[in-house]
A and B are shown apart, each in its own frame.
Chain A
Amino acid sequence: MPTPTYIPLQTITLGSSASSVTFASIPQTYRDLVCALSVATTTGQGVKFQYNGETATANYSRVFMFGTGSSTSSGSSSGDANAQKLIQTKTSISTAVVQIMDYSATDKHKTILARSGPADDIVFAEAQRWASTSAITSFTILSESVLNANTTISLYGIEA
């Protein structure tokens, strides 16, 4: 029997600039989360996702690739303070879709997939791991600079 899903959980639109946005008390009735962002930051840097307030640097790692229109590059990193950058942003508007897989599972590390990029700059894709078997009950979106006003972030739940 088909089960309707991709359920909107919350949308946040910033009325003024902010350094972070938190989605708290995320229901555990879904298997995956999808987060859609339309975001600009005060400097052309990036945005991190921090899960359950976890600041242990060893638990975050990432691998990414991007294209600039004239060249491509790939890198990876781990151990950054608070979390790893997940989305590339710029002062112009960036769009991103983030897939947080198995967020409610308690027997798996979490894999997060993201595609992002300011269209007038680069195209960017990343896989990230949060090395914890804890279910994600909250996450905070941290700007490496400041999230501009009118940034919009929507969260959806997907059953499995």
Chain B
Amino acid sequence: MSLVPWGIWASSGGAVAAFSYDLLATETLTDNTSTEVEFLSSGVWSDYEHLQIRMTPRLIWGYPDDGGNVAVYLNDTTSTYYSHYLRGNGSAVSSATETGPFFNRVPYNNGTTEFGAIVLDILDINSTNKNTTMRALGGSSLSYSNWINLQSAAWFTTSQVTSIQIQSRLGTLGSGSRFSLYGLRGA
């Protein structure tokens, strides 16, 4: 027996266990017109326990403020969502509650090479007896968008997750923004 580094036992003489972490989809935007990127299960997510989204977004909007972020909705945008953040801006740490699944502060239109980054986990996506929770680490180190964020969010619904909508909360998602979806298998 050998322990494969990503955590699955594989028999040296028998069948090898399935990989535990799979790339499911990637969307990279080629223009500045989209306000949303959507991922659909189409039955595939039932094979996984958790999902992870790795994204490098930027927002297109004119106002020279840094209040834009992305919203990550599960199945619908009308259910009750809450999120909390712990955030550093280079001089102080703050924390607050928001009544929506809002993540990060995302760089706004200031250059096509400058993006933020968020790694977001969505846990127990197929459970039908628990509300679904998310957590994320994100940030950007830019003179006009200088943030480090640790966040959690909850979707107060016990439905199985079958779609994910990632939306710009202000303006549109900029070209080059990348959103990759991964599935993590359970034992």
Q: Which residues of A contact B (CB under 8 A)?
A: 2-6, 8, 11, 31-32, 61-65, 67, 72-76, 78, 99, 101-102, 107-109, 111-113, 115, 125-129, 133, 154, 156, 158-160
Cross-chain contact of B91 among A75, A102, A115, A128 (Cβ < 8 A): A75
Quote the shortest CB–CB distance from B80 to chain A (angstroms).
Answer: 28
Query: Any chain A CB within 8 A of the CB of B186?
Result: no
Q: Using C-beta atoms within 8 Å of the partner chain, give the interface range for chain B.
A: 35 or more
Beyond A4-B21, A63-B148, whether A75 also contacts B90 by CB under 8 A is yes
Query: Any chain A CB within 8 A of the CB of B139?
Result: yes
Contacts of A76 in B (CB 8 A): 90-91, 141, 146
Contacts of B56 in A (CB 8 A): 101-102, 108, 111
Chain B residue nearest in CB terms to A128: B141
Chain B residue nearest in CB terms to A115: B137
Give Cα A40–Cα B89 distance, bound, in whole angstroms.
Answer: 28
Query: Any chain A CB within 8 A of the CB of B5?
Result: yes
Known: A2-B47, A111-B117, A127-B139. 4 other contacts (CB 8 A): A63-B89, A63-B146, A101-B54, A160-B23
Chain B residue nearest in CB terms to A34: B119
Beyond A31-B180, A63-B147, A65-B86, whether A127 also contacts B19 by CB under 8 A is no
Query: B113–A133 contact, CB under 8 A?
Result: yes
Can you list 12 residue pairs at the A/B interface with Cβ under 8 Å? A4-B22, A5-B23, A6-B182, A63-B90, A65-B87, A99-B119, A102-B117, A107-B112, A111-B115, A125-B137, A125-B148, A158-B182
Contacts of B19 in A (CB 8 A): 4-6
Contacts of A64 in B (CB 8 A): 88, 148
Interface of chain B, helix or strand or loop or mixed?
strand
Chain A residue nearest in CB terms to B175: A107
Query: Any chain A CB within 8 A of the CB of B36?
Result: no
Quote the shortest CB–CB distance from A115 to chain B (angstroms).
Answer: 6
Within 8 A of A (CB), among B139-155: 139-142, 146-148, 150
Cross-chain contact of A2 among B92, B114, B180, B183 (Cβ < 8 A): B183
Of B88, B89, B91, most A-chain CB atoms within 10 Å = B88
Query: Any chain A CB within 8 A of the CB of B10?
Result: no
Contacts of B148 in A (CB 8 A): 63-65, 74, 125-127
Give Cα A116–Cα B5 distance, bound, in whole angstroms.
Answer: 21
Contacts of A160 in B (CB 8 A): 23, 26, 54, 178, 180
Cross-chain contact of B142 among A101, A108, A129 (Cβ < 8 A): A129
